[in-house]
Amino acid sequence: MATMTVQRLHELFEENPGKDILSWNGACHDCGDTMEVSATPMEDGIHISGGSVYEPAPQNFFLKCDPCFQKDSALRNFQKCEVYSRVVGYLRPVSQWNDAKQEEFRDRKLFDASIA
């Protein structure tokens, strides 16, 4: 997952005419520290300071501070993971199972059936 592209930044400036700076306030997705990222168009391109901005879905922004970006530039764990498993002979999302079946799913144990 890459950070926001230069093209997308230009689009955002076009969507917000008259704005000479774009900024995002919030918490770093990884460490939770409060942070602000700003993008300023200059003659030599758009200057970004304060960290990184991710937009995995339109208008759904996530921020990462520079130390966290240095550690891992990928945006992880930002959406729910749908787990499918077998229930009464069918593969269905576990989130759609009834409470009793979900409890039974949590009791299941993984084992390695390969023969060495």
Question: Contact residues for Zn ion (CB under 5 A)?
Answer: 28, 30-31, 65, 68
**Shortest reach from residue 29's CB to Zn ion, in Å:** 7
**Between 26 and 41, whose beta carbon lies closer to Zn ion?**
26
Nearest to 7 by CA among 63, 60, 45, 57: 45
Q: What is the CA radius of gyration of the chain?
A: 21
**Shortest reach from residue 76's CB to Zn ion, in Å:** 13
**Between 30 and 55, whose beta carbon lies closer to Zn ion?**
30
One-letter amino acid at 78 equals F
CB atoms within 10 A of CB 63: 24
Report d(CA 31, CA 51) in Å as an integer.
13
**Shortest reach from residue 9's CB to Zn ion, in Å:** 21
**Between 28 and 75, whose beta carbon lies closer to Zn ion?**
28
